[in-house]
A and B are shown apart, each in its own frame.
Chain A
Amino acid sequence: MWRFVIGRLLQAIPVIFVVITATFFLVRAAPGGPFDAEKAVIPEVKAALERQYRLDLPLHEQYFAYLGDLMQGDLGPSFKYPGRSINELIESGLPVTAELGAYALLIALVVGGLSGILAALRPNTLQDYIPMSLAMVGICMPTFLLGPLLVLLFGIELDWLPVSGWGDIPGDKLMPSITLGAAYAAYVARLSRAGMLEVLSQDYIRTARAKGLPEWQVVIKHGLRGGMLPVVAFLGPAFAGLLAGSFVVETIFQIPGLGRFYVQAAFNRDYTMILGTTVFLSTLIVLFNLLSDIVAAWLNPRLRAQLSE
């Protein structure tokens, strides 16, 4: 098991390195320097600015200096917000995005998982059709459409919930979390239904039933572990999707999280900010994929036996 974990960690390092390198050179390849737009800047000031941001050095030296900074956990300064470092911006945005993502994931797992399991217990009945049709709607309804529609219905027409903000008014966290979580609840429902159906037709489930275990015990103790494997494997990629979804949800509901910083940085062409957040978010995604791989391997008895040999 440890060999597998360490092996996976070693695989993740080149990926992160590729991400950093590709992002760095892509951002540098962008036309126009960051201070070209401000025509009024006198040459001396511009030179001083460029020295401050190390733009006067040759490209490869900039790159190695940047790598050095990253090693010390320093993501660099922001071009657009002078005096604020990207670390500070991430520190202020990350908790918000993490909270939003956690609620969304919780909704996805609880709502999606429960309805998927219920559907698998009575396949081809209403108990299966209704949640699965809803899941299809969830998959086909993009986040950026669901969000505004929810706002229109519950925020404006019915006036039940606040339409924007995060933690200012009670209840304002509900709509963003549902908006972000809905599509994932749909995927989780489909995956857990398929996984449970597969597991419940296995011989060991028949054995468990044959020895007289009550149905709930069969499902929870014997079925769940194998049946939830596809969901666990999905969590890694889902994390990346949740982050991208948070760009949209934070924009719609005006939430001061990482996603909105990223979109704003993209609009402002704040290159150091884009570079810093890309590196940060990518590393996070790679690590999450790693984690979900490891958990999936640990949950899979066959794979685990193979690994512990």
Chain B
Amino acid sequence: MTDTTLQAEKGTSLWEDAWRRLKKNKLALFGLGLLSSFVVIALLTPWIAPYAYDAQNLDLGATPPSAAHWLGTDIFGRDLLTQIMYGGRISLAVGFVATAVALLIGVSWGAIAGYLGGRVDAVMMRIVDILYALPFMIFIVLLMVVFGRNLLLLFLAIGAVEWLTMARIMRGQVQSLRKQEFVEAAISLGLAPATIIRRHLVPNALGPIIVYTTLTIPSVMLLEAFLSFLGLGIQPPKTSWGLLISYGAETMEEYPWLLIFPGLALTLTLFALNFLGDGLRDALDVRRSAD
């Protein structure tokens, strides 16, 4: 952020411009608001949850929504709202952390390939092509079976799948930025490639990176929920929205609210992220990726 004043001014106006356009998009704003409130709730859950996470009331059993339990209780008499709040912490954490992993690998990989070009680029992108062709969904299931269902591995496995598109987008951006004068100036000033990538290339490619990140989070959350639904993701006593949906589906005939409310939480979050992603794409004027 300590570049020349000229760049700093240009950068600010670009973001202000984007924010102005985003503000006009009601759906995107709605998405942003909903998502922010879910994140705040998730962060504050240990303090604001109406009941303790492990509080059971076996005498009560499953009850429909009431004044004491806004979203009802499950068969062990546990408060569903509390369960959903704690589950949301994990679902959102998986979404954000796994996306961050993907972001880190993808951006560095793409930037290095695009910046160095030539044979290095050819080899690096060939690797991406091969990985693209691998059926990863099946591999993640396999990883979960072989190495046990552990949260850290889940982050890494999902992150390792989702970085490929990011790498392609970043490479395309860097290739076109590379030819511009300010990068040539930086090269002739003798800056190290790592500095040029970090200071000049990544900030200028931020638009597509942000948009794609926003759209990666929902697909990561879906993947986690998919695995948890099959019993291969998050394991009790931890919970996530996918796991709650899976429990809800088992008892939906008698207690439909146990399926509907967790489903609503997940669907609303995915809605919010998709609206926000589409809105950001328009606001930042990012063209659809070339491939």
A26 close to B142 (CB less than 8 A): yes
Q: Chain B binding site: helix, strand, loop or mixed by DSSP?
A: helix
CB contact under 8 A between A282 and B263, given known A142-B226, A144-B226: no
Q: Which of A70-78, A219-227, A240-248, A298-306 contacts B (4 or more CB under 8 A)?
A: A240-248
Q: Is residue A140 contacting chain B, with contact meaning CB distance below 8 A?
A: yes
B242 close to A144 (CB less than 8 A): yes
Which of A147, A152, A263, A282 is the one whose CB lies under 8 Å from B135? A282
B142 close to A248 (CB less than 8 A): no
Residue on A with the closest CB to B140? A244
B245 close to A145 (CB less than 8 A): yes
Q: Is residue B248 contacting chain A, with contact meaning CB distance below 8 A?
A: yes
Q: Is residue B270 contacting chain A, with contact meaning CB distance below 8 A?
A: yes
Contacts of B137 in A (CB 8 A): 240-241, 243-244
Nearest Cβ on chain A to B187's Cβ, whole angstroms: 33
Q: Is residue B222 contacting chain A, with contact meaning CB distance below 8 A?
A: yes
B135 close to A286 (CB less than 8 A): yes
Which chain B residues (92-129) contact chain A, with CB distance < 8 Å?
129
Which of B139, B145, B248, B271 is the one whose CB lies under 8 Å from A148? B248
Q: Is residue B73 contacting chain A, with contact meaning CB distance below 8 A?
A: no
Q: Is residue B274 contacting chain A, with contact meaning CB distance below 8 A?
A: yes
Categorize the interface residue count of chain A: 35 or more
Nearest Cβ on chain B to A294's Cβ, whole angstroms: 14
Residue on A with the closest CB to B130? A15
Which chain B residues (243-282) contact chain A, with CB distance < 8 Å?
245-246, 248-249, 252-253, 256, 259-260, 263, 266-267, 270-271, 274-275
Q: Is residue B166 contacting chain A, with contact meaning CB distance below 8 A?
A: no
B222 close to A142 (CB less than 8 A): yes
1/0 contact string of B137-181 vs chain A (CB within 8 Å): 111011111110000000000000000000000000000000000
A144 close to B225 (CB less than 8 A): yes
Which of A30, A144, A149, A262 is the one whose CB lies under 8 Å from B246? A144
Q: Is residue A6 contacting chain B, with contact meaning CB distance below 8 A?
A: no
Which chain B residues (25-81) contact chain A, with CB distance < 8 Å?
none
Residue on B with the closest CB to A12? B133
Nearest Cβ on chain A to B268's Cβ, whole angstroms: 8
A289 close to B142 (CB less than 8 A): no
B229 close to A144 (CB less than 8 A): yes
Please measure, in the bound complex, the distance between the C-alpha atom of A278 and the C-alpha atom of B137, giving whole angstroms. 10
1/0 contact string of A1-44 vs chain B (CB within 8 Å): 00000000001101100110011001101100000000000000
CB contact under 8 A between A286 and B226, given known A23-B142, A149-B259: no
Q: Is residue B209 contacting chain A, with contact meaning CB distance below 8 A?
A: no
Which of B134, B249, B275 is the one whose CB lies under 8 Å from A282? B134
B231 close to A149 (CB less than 8 A): no
Please measure, in the bound complex, the distance between the C-alpha atom of A239 and the C-alpha atom of B26, giving whole angstroms. 35
Residue on A with the closest CB to B275? A136
Contacts of A289 in B (CB 8 A): 133
Q: Is residue B206 contacting chain A, with contact meaning CB distance below 8 A?
A: no
Q: Is residue A139 contacting chain B, with contact meaning CB distance below 8 A?
A: yes
Q: Is residue A161 contacting chain B, with contact meaning CB distance below 8 A?
A: no
Contacts of B147 in A (CB 8 A): 30
Please measure, in the bound complex, the distance between the C-alpha atom of A251 and the C-alpha atom of B228, giving whole angstroms. 13
CB contact under 8 A between A152 and B259, given known A144-B242, A248-B226, A281-B135: yes
Please measure, in the bound complex, the distance between the C-alpha atom of A12 and the C-alpha atom of B135, giving whole angstroms. 12
Q: Is residue A98 contacting chain B, with contact meaning CB distance below 8 A?
A: no
Contacts of B8 in A (CB 8 A): none
Which of A144, A156, A269 is the one whose CB lies under 8 Å from B245? A144
Please measure, in the bound complex, the distance between the C-alpha atom of A286 and the C-alpha atom of B138, giving whole angstroms. 12
Q: Is residue B232 contacting chain A, with contact meaning CB distance below 8 A?
A: yes
Contacts of A263 in B (CB 8 A): 230
Contacts of B275 in A (CB 8 A): 136
Nearest Cβ on chain B to A182's Cβ, whole angstroms: 13
A248 close to B133 (CB less than 8 A): no
Q: What are 8 contact pairs spanning A and B, CB under 8 A?
A: A27-B142, A30-B145, A141-B267, A142-B225, A144-B225, A240-B137, A282-B134, A285-B138
Give the top 3 A-B pairs by smallest Cβ distance, nearest first. Answer: A148-B249, A140-B270, A285-B135
B binding-site residues for A, Cβ under 8 Å: 129-130, 133-135, 137-139, 141-147, 218, 222, 225-226, 229-232, 242, 245-246, 248-249, 252-253, 256, 259-260, 263, 266-267, 270-271, 274-275, 288
A binding-site residues for B, Cβ under 8 Å: 11-12, 14-15, 18-19, 22-23, 26-27, 29-30, 136, 139-145, 147-149, 151-152, 156, 194, 240-241, 243-244, 247-248, 251-252, 262-263, 266-267, 269, 274, 278, 281-282, 285-286, 289
- 15 further A-B contacts with Cβ under 8 Å, apart from A152-B259, A248-B229, are A18-B130, A23-B139, A30-B146, A140-B271, A140-B274, A145-B245, A145-B263, A145-B267, A149-B259, A149-B263, A240-B137, A244-B138, A247-B141, A266-B144, A274-B145
